[in-house]
């Protein structure tokens, strides 16, 4: 089957939606039109934290042939990230316990694989503290964290 052969109208209900309960906070906003007249509206802000994993062919290439324990560690790191932080402390014993890793060598090999693929980078003179690569994943608003790295998107004229 090819992607173009999928008819979304023929799909059944997603079985994972049944227990799904999304906590939101309704936020009011006030904007002005081009004449300075206020327009009122609202949007829903999801209350659960999330970590974004940015999609690209390059990232899929980095994931290729990644050992399973490294992929598992990457997902664990994404769960542990604090909002707006581009670093984290990995407490080895907690990480190994939560992931069921019994060998320190397996843990070290997983860390090395993530460093080699530039998902994380060790911080000099700070054992067990790593920078994360915000080009690949981040918890929070990258534009707010890295304002000097932003550029405004300008759509091409038609």
**Is residue 76 situated within a structural domain?**
yes
Place of tokens 């324990």: 69
In a domain, 78, yes or no: yes
Number of domains in the chain: 1
pLDDT of residue 113: 95
Name the nearest CA neighbour of 138 among 41, 52, 67, 38. 52
106 Cα distance to chain centroid: 24
pLDDT above 70 as % of the chain: 100
Q: What pairing do the DSSP bridges indicate for beta strands 52-53 and 137-138?
A: antiparallel
Is 6 domain-assigned?
A: no
Give per-residue pLDDT as tens, 27-38: 877 777 788 777
Tokens of 48: 């659960």
Q: Residue 86: which CATH number? A: 1.10.10.10
In a domain, 82, yes or no: yes
The mean per-residue pLDDT over the stretch 1-12 comes to 84
Does residue 39 lie within any of the structural domains?
A: no
Of residues 153 and 132, more confidence is placed in: 132
Print the domain residue range for 68: 52-142
The reported pLDDT for the residue numbered 117 is: 94
In a domain? residue 83:
yes
Three-state secondary structure call for residue 43: strand
92 in a domain, yes or no?
yes
CA angle 136, 141, 147 (to 5 degrees): 95
Q: Is residue 62 part of a domain?
A: yes
The distance of Cα 95 from the centroid of its chain, to the nearest Å, equals 19
In this predicted model, what pLDDT tens digit does every residue of 54-98 receive, in sequence order?
999 999 999 998 999 999 999 999 999 999 999 999 999 999 999
Instruction: Give the pTM.
Output: 0.79
64 φ, ψ to 5°?
Answer: -60, 130
Contacting residues for 52 by C-beta, under 8 A, at least 6 apart: 137, 138, 139
């Amino acid at each position: 089957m090819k992607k173009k052969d999928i008819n979304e109208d023929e799909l059944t209900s997603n079985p994972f939606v049944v227990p799904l309960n999304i906590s939101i906070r309704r936020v009011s906003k006030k904007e002005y039109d081009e004449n300075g007249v206020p327009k009122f509206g609202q949007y829903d802000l999801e209350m659960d934290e999330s970590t974004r994993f940015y999609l690209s062919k390059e990232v899929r290439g980095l994931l290729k042939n990644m050992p399973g324990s490294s992929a598992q560690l990457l997902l664990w790191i994404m769960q542990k990230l604090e909002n707006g932080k581009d670093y984290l402390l990995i407490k080895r014993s907690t990480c190994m316990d939560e992931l069921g890793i019994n060998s320190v060598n397996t843990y070290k090999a997983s860390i090395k694989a993530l460093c080699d693929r530039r998902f994380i980078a060790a911080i000099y003179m700070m054992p067990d503290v790593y920078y994360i690569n915000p080009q690949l994943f981040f918890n929070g608003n990258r534009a707010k964290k890295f304002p000097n790295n932003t550029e405004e998107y300008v759509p091409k004229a038609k």
